[in-house]
Amino acid sequence: MEIINASDIKPVLENQLIVPLFILDSLMMPGDSMMMRVFEPRYKQMLDDVVIDSAPYGHVMANSSIPQIKGWDAPFDVGTLVEIGDLEENGSNLLYSAIAGKRFRIISLITPELENIDFGGIFPSAHDLEIEYQDKNPNGKLYLRALIEILPKLNGTVESNKWDNLIALWESYIIQIADITGFDKDDPQFIMEFNDKIKLQNDENIWRLASMVIDTLDEQVTCLKSQNTKEVVSMIESNIQKKLGLIKFFQQSNE
């Protein structure tokens, strides 16, 4: 990934965007949602900007294997665009729901204006920090941004019998987990996992399954970068098989 200053930003091409980046210790698959709490000035500034512009931001994961940028963690080069919902203030924090959508690839990173400073848990306002650089670069930001390319939807499909077998494998895994944990299989939340919706082969259900079973970092990154349905489905199947193997080992060791 190229690293540029805010003053060097060039016009974007079709299918490209410049987005703020929220760098965390996990990735989100398309369709995922989570509750977020923001207290750092850089991310409060980011939320102000995306709310005013009615725009998404990029959810990415910190990559400790590459150098930091002005003391801030740099991300992996793939992520998902996030829409904000139910934003509210809670004391000095901002709370909202993050809903992940389209996947993207980072082309270049745009550096923040200020170095990372340890404020010892007592943060200044975003406005106070903005004053330090606005005269020099009024277009600068406290947060890391990126020029991104939107990744297309997954190509192709898998054979209907292969998809049916995958869903059957998933159901077997869920039932075994319920047996181990003592979960009530008559519970409506449990039954919901087996409704007709998830049995349909579409992008929504593929990413839903991927989110639930692919839990290693390398595979999550590979999954988000995937171009075709067969590759993602193969990863889902492999992970379910691994989990079923662990359950079998657990059961045998307790006999």
In a domain, residue 173? The reply is yes
Mark whether 132 and 173 lie in a shared domain.
no
In this structure, the answer to whether residues 87 and 209 fall within a common structural domain is no
Domain that holds residue 46: 2-150
Do 212 and 131 share a structural domain? Answer: no
Show which of 120, 150, 180 is a domain's final residue.
150
- Statement to judge: residues 121 and 243 lie in one domain: no
With contact defined as beta carbons under 8 Å apart, do 62 and 73 qualify? yes
* pLDDT score at 248: 82
Are 14 and 132 in a shared domain? yes
Nearest Cα residue to 246 out of 217, 224, 215: 215
Instruction: Tell whether 80 and 166 lie within a shared domain.
Output: no
Distance of CA 208 to the CA centre of its chain: 13
Helix, strand or coil, per DSSP, at residue 118 = coil
Q: Where would I find the H helices in the chain? A: 41-53, 126-130, 160-181, 188-192, 203-213, 217-225, 229-253
Pairing of strands 93-110, 78-90: antiparallel
Residue ending a domain, among 150, 170, 191, is: 150
State the Cα angle at 212 between 242 and 178, rounded to 5°: 75
Identify whether 155 is part of a domain. no
Q: Which two tokens stand for residue 2?
A: 């190229």
pTM, rounded to two decimals: 0.88
Domain boundary among 130, 150, 170: 150
Buried b (16+ CB within 10 A) or exposed e, 201-213: beeebbbbbbbbb
pLDDT at 233: 95
Q: Are residues 14 and 138 in the same domain?
A: yes
Contact status, residue 7 vs residue 145, Cβ threshold 8 Å? no
Q: pLDDT digit of tens for each residue in the chain (255 aa)?
A: 789 888 888 888 888 999 999 999 999 999 999 999 999 999 999 999 999 989 999 999 999 999 999 999 999 999 999 999 999 988 888 999 999 999 999 999 999 999 988 888 788 889 999 999 988 888 899 999 999 999 999 999 999 999 999 998 988 888 888 777 777 666 666 656 555 667 888 999 999 999 999 989 999 999 999 999 999 999 999 999 999 988 888 777 776
Dihedral angle of Cα 166, 172, 176, 179, to the nearest 10 degrees: 140
pLDDT of residue 137: 86
Q: What is the DSSP string of 37-101?
A: EE-SHHHHHHHHHHHHHT--EEEEEB-TTS--BTTBPPBPSEEEEEEEEEEEEETTEEEEEEEEE
- Regarding whether 169 and 71 lie in a shared domain, the answer is no
Alpha-carbon gap, residue 173 to 170, rounded angstroms: 5
Q: Do 113 and 9 reside in the same domain of the chain? A: yes
> Is residue 209 situated within a structural domain?
yes
Q: How many CB atoms lie within 10 A of CB 63?
A: 17
Residue 212, token pair as written in the block? 């639930």
144 and 223 housed in the same domain: no
For residue 125, how many C-alpha atoms fall within 13 Å in the half-sphere facing its CB?
4
Within this chain, do residues 90 and 202 fall inside the same structural domain, yes or no?
Answer: no
Q: How many domains does the chain have?
A: 2
Asked whether residue 198 falls in the same domain as residue 86, the answer is: no
The enclosing domain of 141 has a CATH number of: 2.30.130.40
Report if residue 13 sits inside a domain.
yes
Please classify residue 182 by burial: count the beta carbons closer than 10 Å to its beta carbon, then call 0-12 exposed, 13-18 middle and 19+ buried: exposed
